């Protein structure tokens, strides 16, 4: 039985682009936490940061899986 990938990866976004967006979000989170620690916007930014980090992880996993598959074919 062959293993199948169950996650979807956004092929248009590179890890570098996503990491840059995540860095910007984290910077904004830090600013907002110090200025308005009870802001509703914090939860929204945290959710966005988590989503981006998951997408980065998915891309890295997909790349590692592809590389491993290629090695196993040899």
Segments making up each domain of the chain, as ranges? 37-73
Report d(CA 31, CA 21) in Å as an integer: 15
pLDDT at 1: 38
**Span 28-68, pLDDT tens digits:** 889 888 888 777 788 888 899 999 999 999 999 999 999 99
Report the 10 Å Cβ neighbour count for 59.
18
Helix (H) or strand (E) holding 10: none
Residue 9 has pLDDT above 70, yes or no: no
């Amino acid at each position: 039985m062959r293993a199948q990938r169950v996650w979807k990866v956004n092929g248009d976004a590179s890890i570098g682009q996503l990491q840059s967006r995540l860095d910007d979000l984290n910077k904004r989170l830090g600013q907002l936490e110090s200025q308005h620690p009870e802001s509703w916007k914090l939860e929204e930014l945290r959710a966005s940061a988590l989503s981006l980090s998951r997408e980065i992880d998915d891309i890295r996993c997909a790349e590692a899986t592809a590389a491993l598959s290629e090695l196993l074919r040899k």
